[in-house]
Structure 1
Amino acid sequence: MTVNVTPHLNFRGDARAALEFYESAFGGDLVITTYRDMGNVQDPAEAEHIVWGQVVAANGFRVMAYDVPGSRSWSRGEDPFFVSVRGDDVEEITSAWKGLAKGATIVQPLGPSPWAALYGMLKDRFGVTWVMDVLGDPDPS
């Protein structure tokens, strides 16, 4: 039996833009279903909001997202979670970092660290904090 854990991000009207952004950074396939697609439109202004969406890449990257309807309370919060992306390929992680860094606030620049060959943290333009690292020999200094 296999168990997978996938971050499921909640937005209010930004899920499509966020999923498209993550697809551009990580590659993979984007699948979305709107409230209109489901025949479950409570508020006409939210018909094109995402009720279910995901990006799945061949390298194992997965993220899901949806737009919390206006009828439910929702708050982005202040650092309610981090999304960790860990890999063993410096080029792949660096490429994804560069994609996510567009419009982001860099918390810790991507570089060697005492616990990983490469580590960085940023808060993307949607307010999601990403922790990225490359497994391997840590910085000996």
Structure 2
Amino acid sequence: MTSRLNPYISFAGNARDAMEFYKNVLGGELALNTYGQFGGGTGHDDRIMHAMLETGSGFTLMGADLPPGAEHTPGNNFAVSLSGDDADELRGYWDKLSDGATVAVPLEKQAWGDVFGMCTDRFGITWMVNIG
């Protein structure tokens, strides 16, 4: 397997909902594994220990619910960026991601010439979309 770099997002008990949402946005195949499948007994057996979404566009997004006892502390130092020149594809992602989201920058032409938008989705994840 070729090495790759991809986001791995931690959730506070709603990883299944979030990853299914991202599958709806981006398409692709979603694999979900629960804590219960790998021994369980933690009281969190139905929560997601590992999720991986692989899309036809070559995107890979991973995520999981934090293990029992771990504190969820979201920050503002992380965003997922989608960029390219397929305006229809990227606008489609934006429309779904920004539905119910907090839009910080509307998807519109920017000073550098590209169309760009930034929003924080219903799961607290910041997304940037740039259409070149």
**TM beyond 0.5:** yes
Deviation at 1:39, TM superposition (A): 1.6
Whether contact under 8 Å (1:108, 1:122) holds in the other structure is yes
Give ranges in structure 1 of 5+ residues lacking alignment.
Answer: 136-141
Q: TM-score, normalised by structure 1?
A: 0.87
1:107 partnered with 2:104: yes
Rounded Cα–Cα distance in structure 2 between residues aligned with 1:19 and 1:2: 24
Q: Cα 1:106–1:66, aligned 2, differ >3 Å: closer, same or farther?
A: same
Whether contact under 8 Å (1:23, 1:29) holds in the other structure is yes
1:73 partnered with 2:71: yes
Q: TM-score, normalised by structure 2?
A: 0.93
Rounded Cα–Cα distance in structure 2 between residues aligned with 1:116 and 1:17: 35
Q: Percent identity?
A: 36
Partner of 1:18: 18
Q: 1:85 aligns with which of 75, 82, 86?
A: 82
- Paired residues in the alignment total 132
Runs of 4+ deviating beyond 3 Å: none
1:50 partnered with 2:48: yes
Rounded Cα–Cα distance in structure 1 between residues aligned with 2:88 and 2:3: 27
Q: CA offsets per residue over residues 77-134 of structure 1, 9 Å max, x none? A: 3x13111111220000000001111210011011111224211000000110001101
Q: How large is the RMSD of aligned CA atoms in angstroms? A: 1.5
- The residue type paired with residue 113 of structure 1 is Q
Rounded Cα–Cα distance in structure 1 between residues aligned with 2:113 and 2:78: 21
Q: Cα 1:13–1:2, aligned 2, differ >3 Å: closer, same or farther?
A: same
- The residue type paired with residue 114 of structure 1 is A
Whether contact under 8 Å (1:112, 1:119) holds in the other structure is yes
Find the residue that maps to 1:130 and give its secondary structure: strand
Find the residue that maps to 1:37 and give its secondary structure: helix
